Structure 1
Amino acid sequence: MFDNEASGQIPAANTPVAVSAPKAADTSKRKQLFAGLAGLTLAAGLGYGAWYALVGSHHVETDNAYVAADVAQITPLVGGPVRSVEVRDTQTVTRGQVLVTLDDSDARIALASAQADLAKAERRVRGYLATDQSLAAQITAREADQTRAAASLASAQADLERARIDLERRKALAANGAVSGDELTRAQNAFANAQAAAASAKAAETQAQANRAAAVGSLTANAALTDGTTVDTNPEVASARARVEQAKLDLERTVIRAPIDGVVTRRNVQIGQRVAPGAPLMQVAPIQQAYVDANFKEGQLRKVAIGQPVELKSDLYGGSVTYHGKVVGLSGGTGSAFAMIPAQNATGNWIKVVQRLPVRIALDPAELKARPLRVGLSMTAAIDTRR
């Protein structure tokens, strides 16, 4: 019997060929790898689903967040040449620290002038009060003059009446020749003199009344300047005192101080420069009072509410440092709504763009003090909406 190979015969097509052992092992290993990969994928999917259901669905996150602060604008309240500049850019300052000093020569002169005006006003009011007393005495004197004039008028009227009776008696006797013509003439003259004296007394009384009325009017007019007031509370003195206080305030304002604690930025004032009231000199950024404005997509804000906790990370310190804060407010509109040129979607060329709304986040002061931030730095914010 011959061997197939030796005889040159070809095996039949349906004759089974044995598979090598290494090839079978590779196929088995490949199947195991695919099965393991499918298991890992399934486990990852289940893990992500569980994480999203328990954690992810209750958190919203954005990296469109930036550090901000209510920067203090340093401007002079009075004008004048700059005498000295005490700080530089990037310098840390405390509240009340001197930043800039203006030349105070004009302010000192204005204060001296206001103080002189106050002294004159006080003396003038004291004169008003003294005049009140003088006019009151004049009224008393005019009343005495009026009384005396009334008495003189009464005496003159009595003399006139006596002269009239005497004249009538003389006329009756003159008809019988009992009284001489000279005696009748003297009686007539006496009556005329008594009339003149009565008229003069009447005029004197009228003059006395007028003098008293004038004195009363003068007292009333002067009292209107001092009624219910003293030297200190008189309106003229109060006005002059207010001008003194304003001059003192203007003098104090020649020394410009820091209104808050912070870091000096954008200093643009130099010695010798003449500044006007309201001119920007520098800014002070209160980095210890910094906050974060995080711009979330409108679809992320369904469950966001004030008071919810926030975890933040800064590009400055990296992912190893986490800040903690809370939501303190949501803006009244999106950035596009308050832009200088708002988008006009009524033109017809409209493409929907997802809008973002700024959310104000307050930072933990202790963490902020330990690791200070600067205005404008990028942050990543994640809000826990479960609370």
Structure 2
Amino acid sequence: MKRVTILIGMMLLAAVAAVQAQKVDEERMQRDVEVAENILSTLIKQQFEGQRMFFPVNISGSYQPGFGVTFRLPMDFSSPMVIGQGFTFEREPYVYTIPSRDGADVQITTRAEAPRKDDMRLKTRVEINTDSLHQAQNTRVIEAVKVFIADYGDLLSQLPANEKVLITNQGDYGRKWGVLIRSGQNVKRTHLSVEALKSDMTQYKQGKISRDQMMAKIKVVNTEAVDEVAPDLELLSSIFGRLYRSDLSKTYFAEDYITFEQLKDFGVIYYMNVYSSNRVGPETHAMPTLGLNNLSQEERNKKVIELYPAFEKDIKSNIVDYGRTVKSLKDEEMLVVNVRLTTCEKCGIPSTVEFSIKAAELKAFDSGKIDKATAISKVNVKQGPKQ
């Protein structure tokens, strides 16, 4: 009996030690991520030394167990920077009113001022150079990111070998617009993503692979939204919008339009915001997809947690069933659905989740080369930070 008591005590001590060690690991991971944010920001700034930069390079990093560390660049970072030259403002005619001494109002209209020839030439030159400037800036950012991964990625000491470091200009729930407005010009959104495995970084640091080999292992996506969107992509947006209305969905529902952007040589990304309930009183909720009313916050949160596995299973099935209607994507291009999930504080469900599958897999399912279960298994799921 005494021996059993001792064994139980040892097991409890080991469990406590494991919990404490895990806490230390988490604290170290957070510290490593914050240091890495600073290093990456500095490397990017150094790429643009000598230029006038009118934006901060604020980078946010986060760790997701099972995936790795994601560093997010500012949302509009990859858009052309305003250098401060070559932009003109054309004066339009306008009317203003002044009171006269006798009390009557007098209206004065100014004349429009025609742009000077030099201004017109500058404007034309800026429009011509926008694309090349954009690409040059992205190239510099990618170079800084690759140096960061190769030379400093191993500073993320707590990151497991099978997880990755990802640097992207996509927000945690994606984007809703394919065009930016900058100084009177339409500027296309870009999709920038650079990633590498921790194991490759370790091998490079240990001298097992060369720098050229390390650079070759870094995956880079650098593309932009296309001008003309394929009709079948718009149709799929409409289909998902109908499937996830509260009268059809059995899990979470969407009230907003399902926005999307088609990216050159990458594929398409759909953006969804999904909800679980409507507030019907100060402390009560209704869940229309379940037909439940007058739920307390605790009851509502419990149902939200229960619905998440069903939602994930359902949307994977829908991606396969309806994604196969898309014919405009090339085999190697991706169909991605980026979802921002219903708010549920301290529920443990993800705040965001991303589903992706290659167009080739959807085509194989559509032609009968693979069955539905196999196609669903090809859908990759990436969960964001827990709520």
Which TM-score band (shorter chain)? Answer: under 0.3
Q: TM-score, normalised by structure 1?
A: 0.17
Higher-Rg member (1/2): 1
Bigger fraction of residues in helix: 1
Q: Which has the higher contact order (CA 8 A, sep 6+)?
A: 1
